[in-house]
Amino acid sequence: MWQGRGKTAIAGIGYSEITRKPLKPLGLLAIDACRAALADAGLDAARIDGLATYPESPFAGAGNRDGEDVVSVNWIMNHLALAPDLRWYAQIETGMIASPIIEAINALLAGACDYVLVWRALHRPRPRATGGGAHSGPPRASGDAQFLAPYGASSIVQTHALAWQRYMHRYGATRDALAALALNSRRNANLNPRAFFFKEPMTRDDYFNSRWIAEPLCLFDCDVPVDGCVALIITTAQRARDLSRPPAYIAGCGQNTASRRTLLYYTLDDYMACGSSLANKLWRSAGLGPRDMDAAQLYDGFNPSTLYWLEAAGFCAEGEGAAFVRDGRIALEGELPVNTFGGSLSEGRMHGMGHIAEAVRQVTDRAGQRQIPGAAAVCAIDGSPMLRGSGLIVTRDP
């Protein structure tokens, strides 16, 4: 078992507005989320002596202007009145959203700082002229894109469609599995006032009648692109107990470490090795297993990823995800509630921060109508197994 188990905690959650019609630039949304997290924890910004984020733009070409397209450590340092002796920071783009939190945990355990503010800000990139003067003729694709873009095959949704096509072929799964996941997420989102689709229920017909994006993935298999930011306060367990909210203790953590063996693009064939490399560390660090989880918040940037994580993390056997999600097993009142807040599919694309925030709420009795009574241990795993990932287990007791 990990020596850091239960020694750090998530002590505050802050959301900016999550919106498709933002009235302010991303940096200001990030400030809103950071201030909300500080207020939630009952902590003054001047006590924050550690910062960490995963700043990446949602896709290539989105732009890289600090405070508009990304919100870096430097930007927050320049725009929030933090501790004058700010002692530690990290900006990381390996692993996934839990990765800066894992960095923060290690910094806290090492005594490098006392209170860490972690945020993830992201937006819906608008098309932007690339500059470079007059250019005639077709666009030119360079790097690995020269083997994809000439075929119109460089979008991430196509990558996920290709993996899901292969999954269906390999295991005999159908779209019913994805419908079950999407409907479950929407039902939970209808109990989450923060969710983009809070007021919009979804029927099975709605799912099957929605338009194709990249077959075999339809509109409701894709997360909702939004502008927004989620921020968290991470501190030692001892300090957390003196703040306003009950702490969610961090019992375990893990990141993808398996090597990807397919060149050209990310394939289904890499998902199990990559996903289980994360899950093994997650379970081992906490001394807990899938059966100890009262709920699982599993990444769903594209819907099939949740199914892959159910398998890679050992909630069911490989190839059995489609059978597992049937018959209400993943519902709030089921055997393993999944994405109890609505997931990225229905709350909005916060790249896994929504998953972590919900895990915290569930083990601290803050999930409102979605509360699983007495939830003691919940995992949040982000990323797509074959791409990258990181995860946490939070618990009610240290």
Partner 1 sequence: MSDTSKKPVPAADDLSRPFWTAAHDRRLVVQRCAACGYYNHPPRPFCDACLAQELPFEPVSGRGTVYSFTVMHQRDVAGFERDAPFINIVVELAEQPRLLMVSNLPIAERPKVTIGAPVEVYFEDRDDGISVPQFRII
Phi, psi of 249 (to 5 degrees): -75, 140
Binding to partner 1, residues 336-395 (CB under 8 A):
none
Closest CA to 185 of 293, 297, 322, 324: 297
Kind plus residue range of the DSSP H or E element containing 101:
helix 98-109
Of residues 146, 174, 238, 369, which one binds partner 1 by CB under 8 A? 146
User: Nearer to partner 1 by C-beta: 207 or 341?
Assistant: 207
State the nearest-atom distance from the C-beta of 268 to partner 1, in Å.
Answer: 8
Question: Could you say whether residue 210 binds partner 1 (CB under 8 A)?
Answer: no
User: Nearer to partner 1 by C-beta: 3 or 142?
Assistant: 142
User: Nearer to partner 1 by C-beta: 84 or 143?
Assistant: 143
Q: In sequence order, which residues have a C-beta less than 8 Å from that of residue 96 and are 6 or more positions away?
A: 54, 255, 256, 299, 351, 352, 382, 383, 388, 389, 390
CB atoms inside a 10 Å sphere around CB 83: 16
User: Nearer to partner 1 by C-beta: 51 or 162?
Assistant: 162
Closest CA to 300 of 348, 258, 252: 348
User: Nearer to partner 1 by C-beta: 163 or 282?
Assistant: 163
Question: Could you say whether residue 152 binds partner 1 (CB under 8 A)?
Answer: yes
Peptide bond into 201 cis (omega under 30): no
Of residues 7, 83, 86, 265, which one binds partner 1 by CB under 8 A? 265
Q: In sequence order, which residues have a C-beta less than 8 Å from that of residue 207 and are 6 or more positions away?
A: 179, 182, 183, 218, 220
- Bridge-based pairing state of the strands 228-236 and 8-15: antiparallel
User: Nearer to partner 1 by C-beta: 170 or 326?
Assistant: 170
Torsion 340-321-287-282 (CA) sign: negative
Query: Quick one: which segment of 146-154, 197-205, 235-243, 296-304 binds partner 1 (CB under 8 A)?
Result: 146-154
Of residues 21, 126, 151, 333, which one binds partner 1 by CB under 8 A? 151
Of residues 84, 137, 172, 373, which one binds partner 1 by CB under 8 A? 137
Of residues 23, 172, 264, 291, which one binds partner 1 by CB under 8 A? 264
Euclidean distance between CA atoms 375 and 278, whole angstroms: 23
User: Nearer to partner 1 by C-beta: 63 or 287?
Assistant: 63
State the nearest-atom distance from the C-beta of 142 to partner 1, in Å.
Answer: 4
Question: Could you say whether residue 158 binds partner 1 (CB under 8 A)?
Answer: yes
Give how far the C-alpha of residue 252 lies from the chain's centroid of Cα atoms, to the nearest Å. 16
Amino acid code (one letter) for 150: P
Query: Quick one: which segment of 66-74, 90-98, 162-170, 176-184 binds partner 1 (CB under 8 A)?
Result: 162-170
Query: Quick one: which segment of 45-53, 138-146, 191-199, 315-323 binds partner 1 (CB under 8 A)?
Result: 138-146
Exposed, middle or buried: residue 334 (CB in 10 Å: 0-12, 13-18, 19+)?
Answer: middle
Question: Could you say whether residue 141 binds partner 1 (CB under 8 A)?
Answer: yes
State the nearest-atom distance from the C-beta of 62 to partner 1, in Å.
Answer: 14
Residues near partner 1 (CB under 8 A) are 137-155, 157-158, 161-163, 165-166, 169, 211-217, 261-265, 267-269
